[in-house]
Amino acid sequence: MNPLIFTTILMTVLLGTMIVMMSSHWLMIWIGFEMNLLAIIPILMKKYNPRTMEASTKYFLTQATASMLLMMAIIINLMHSGQWTIMKVFNPTASIIMTSALAMKLGLTPFHFWVPEVTQGISLTSGLILLTWQKLAPMSILYQISPSINLNILLTMAVLSILVGGWGGLNQTQLRKIMAYSSIAHMGWMTAVLAYNPTLTMLNMLIYIMMTLTMFMLFIHSSSTTTLSLSHTWNKTPLTTTLILITLLSMGGLPPLSGFMPKWMIIQELTKNSSIILPTLMAIMALLNLYFYMRLTYSTSLTMFPSTNNMKMKWQFETKRITLLPPLIVMSSLLLPLTPMLSILD
Amino acid sequence: MMTYIVFILSVIFVVSFVGFSSKPSPIYGGLVLIVSGGVGCGIIVNFGGSFLGLMVFLIYLGGMLVVFGYTTAMATEQYPEVWVSNTTVMGVFLLGLLMEVMLVLYVLKSEEVGVVFKFSGVGDWAIYDTGDSGVFSEEIMGVAALYSYGAWVVIVTGWSLLVGVLVILEVTRGD
């Protein structure tokens, strides 16, 4: 793609999300979502094969439907409150419709079906943008309307998302689908605590984005999209096998690493609000996630995965230089002692 | 009839939407889009917005739909689907019509209708006064406000249109 046009389109994606996050008028928010959607379509279609076109079409259809539902909720809110300012939604019907629309945009169950298919059909870099940047805008709106969201619907979607994210990722060998199911599960954790303490939602979003960025960049570094090709990284750059191990265990939520911080805080906040069964269920279902992360680490860094002999002598031109990778790796594994700093997110 | 003109136009609006969402060939979809655009323009004009209504006719029907019609005519197939050619299309069309007829009868018969929001029968659809202050027209002041206080909206929508063109060129360019 022409670099100038690519830069313009990428800047428009950023501009769309910025407009969503900083507007106070519902119509501008809708405009921001549409601008974001419009501009990310050619980024998803960077390579011109039928796979990417199908993935972009699926993404466009689901997100456009979600935008229409959002517009309907905005108009019902207007009819019942007479004003366009963003604050809590004044009508229960409008609140439910808006929650469903934003859940479709995020990929929460029962609207999660597009996430693995779209993530699998596009390149690794586009998948990176899809699973990290595109989650910011809907989450910011959920944060702003959180006082008026129907708790039953929100918690049902959250628990089902964690379940689907864990269970669905078990049978996958394609790395992009694994990241997609991991995204579904993390979105579930984020929305579970939204009604109780939205600051923790933002904390979880921050840590999740850091870890997902790290994982995708490690995959891009070793140009691997399947478990099998990831298991050959010991041959190309042996250091990244250790880094993949650490980052994956952090995504699974194991204690001395950063990924434990949001899960710990969320469970603590939920138990403070006297719900015991819910965080127990969530923690148990996060084990499913941990299982397939550990399976990846087993084949990548803990064993030499069986392969033919010529695969054991891989050769590549030059190592890709990804500047942001080392700080991200450090941040996604060592941030746990900084937990008291989460008060800055208020 | 003139008191209920907005209601009648709204019914025709919904019926033409049913007409193209039951997915006949795009040519026939464009045909009912013309009808729905014209009827929508009529609704806006009845609320006192003569400028905006004529703008819809000029830009939407006279610009975008003409271009759409020409491109569809270039890409049409040998036997385009009409509403009665395919059982599925006809079924969806009749289902939509049936639901609209039932809704209209419900609105006409009962005193108060409360589907998502309440309105009292057909009376709410009739326009008794345009609701403006009588000194200046509301919709012209809206257009003026768009270009003065709403400069940010103009910038954002202008940028979106530019990026829309770039996106379409990128997507259809191929390799």
pLDDT in tens, A36-72: 999 999 999 988 889 999 999 999 999 999 999 999 9
- The answer to whether A48 contacts B170, with C-beta atoms less than 8 Å apart, is no
A19 touches chain B (CB under 8 A): yes
Amino acid in the structure at residue A52: T
What amino acid occupies position B124?
A: D
- Spell out which residues of chain B touch residue A15, defining contact as CB-CB under 8 Å: 159
C-alpha A209/C-alpha A215 separation (Å) is: 10
What is the pLDDT, as a whole number, of residue B119?
62
For A211-229, give the secondary structure using H, E and C.
HHHHHHHHHHHCCCCEHHH
User: CA of A14 to nearest chain B CA: how many angstroms apart?
Assistant: 13
Helix (H, G, I), strand (E, B) or coil at A249: helix
Helix A260-272 / helix A198-221 crossing angle, nearest 10 deg: 160
Rounded to 5°, angle at Cα A32 from A28 and A35: 135
Average pLDDT over residues B111-121: 63
How distant is the Cα of B175 from the closest Cα of chain A, in angstroms?
6
Q: Which of B113, B115, B116 to mutate to test the interface with A (most CBs of A within 10 A)?
A: B116
pLDDT for res A170: 94
Please identify which residue in the block is written with the tokens 């366009």.
A84
Which tokens belong to B154?
Answer: 């103009």
Residue A110: which of A55, A174, A160, A148 has the closest Cα? Answer: A160
H/E element, B114: strand B113-114
Question: So what's the pLDDT on residue A61?
Answer: 96
Looking at residue A239, its amino acid is L
How far apart (Å, rounded) are the C-alpha atoms in residues B15 and A177?
Answer: 42
The span from the CA of A117 to the CA of A136, in Å, is 20
Instruction: Please name which of A90, A73, A1, A2 lies closest in space to residue A33, comparing C-alpha atoms.
Output: A73
Say if CB A84 and CB A27 are below 8 A apart: yes
The per-residue pLDDT of chain B, averaged, comes to 85
- Identify the residue among A36, A38, A43, A89 best suited for mutation to test binding to B, counting B beta carbons within 10 A and taking the highest: A38
* Per-residue confidence band for B46, with pLDDT thresholds at 50, 70 and 90: confident
pLDDT of residue A1 exceeding 80, the answer is no
How far is A105 from A42, CA to CA, in rounded Å? 18
What is the b/e burial string over A176-198, where b = at least 16 CB atoms within 10 angstroms of the residue's CB? Answer: bbbbbbbbbbbbbbbbbbbbbbb
Question: Which chain B residues have a beta carbon less than 8 Å from that of A8?
Answer: 163, 166
Q: For all residues of chain A together, what is the average pLDDT?
A: 91
Q: The tokens 């969530």 sit on which residue?
A: A282
Mean pLDDT computed over A179-203: 94
Minimal-distance CA residue of chain B relative to A97: B116
Q: Do A35 and B170 touch (CB under 8 A)?
A: no
pTM for the full predicted model? 0.90
Which chain A residues are within 8 Å of B159, Cβ to Cβ? 12, 15, 35
pLDDT at A319: 77
Say what the pLDDT of residue B135 is: 74
**CB distance A12–B163 less than 8 Å?**
yes
Q: Choose the closest CB to A9 out of B117, B163, B175.
A: B163
First to last CA, chain A: 41
Distances (CA, A) of B77 to B26, B27, B81, B82, B92: 10, 10, 9, 12, 22
Name the minimum distance, in Å, from the CA of B174 to any CA of chain A. 6
CB contact under 8 A, A12 and B159: yes
Q: Is B159 on the interface with A (CB under 8 A)?
A: yes
pLDDT digits (tens, 9 = 90+) for A256-313: 999 999 999 999 999 999 889 999 999 999 999 999 999 999 999 988 888 887 777 7
**CB of A216 closer than 8 Å to CB of A209:** no
DSSP class of residue B119? E
Res. B113 pLDDT band, cuts 50 70 90: low
Give the side-chain half-sphere CA count within 13 A for A128: 15
Q: By the CB < 8 Å criterion, does B171 face chain A?
A: yes
Amino acid at A34: E
- For the record, the structure tokens of A36 come out as 């974001």
Under an 8 A CB cutoff, do B163 and A39 touch? yes
Q: What is the nearest CA distance from B158 to chain A, expressed in angstroms?
A: 11
Interface mutation vs chain A, best among B124, B153, B162, B167, most A CBs within 10 Å: B167
**Interface contact B116, partner A, CB < 8 A:** yes
pLDDT in the model for residue A191 = 95
Element (H, E) at B118: strand B118-119
Q: What is the pLDDT of residue B138?
A: 74
Q: Tally helices (H) and strands (E) across chain A.
A: 16, 0
Name the percent of chain A lying above pLDDT 90: 72
On whether any CB of chain B is under 8 Å from the CB of A39, the answer is yes
DSSP-based three-state secondary structure for B55: helix
Shortest distance between the Cα of A48 and any Cα of chain B, in A, equals 6
* pLDDT tens digits, A33-44: 999 999 999 999
Pairing of strands B113-114, B118-119: antiparallel
Amino acid in the structure at residue A346:
D
Task: Judge residue B150's burial from the number of C-beta atoms within 10 Å of its C-beta, 0-12 exposed, 13-18 middle, 19 or more buried.
Answer: middle
Q: Say if B128 is an interface residue toward chain A (CB within 8 Å).
A: no
User: Residue for token digits 């989650």?
Assistant: A135
pLDDT of residue B123: 61
- Binned at pLDDT 50, 70 and 90, residue B128 comes out as low
Interface with chain B: mutation pick from A1, A12, A23, highest number of B CBs within 10 Å: A12
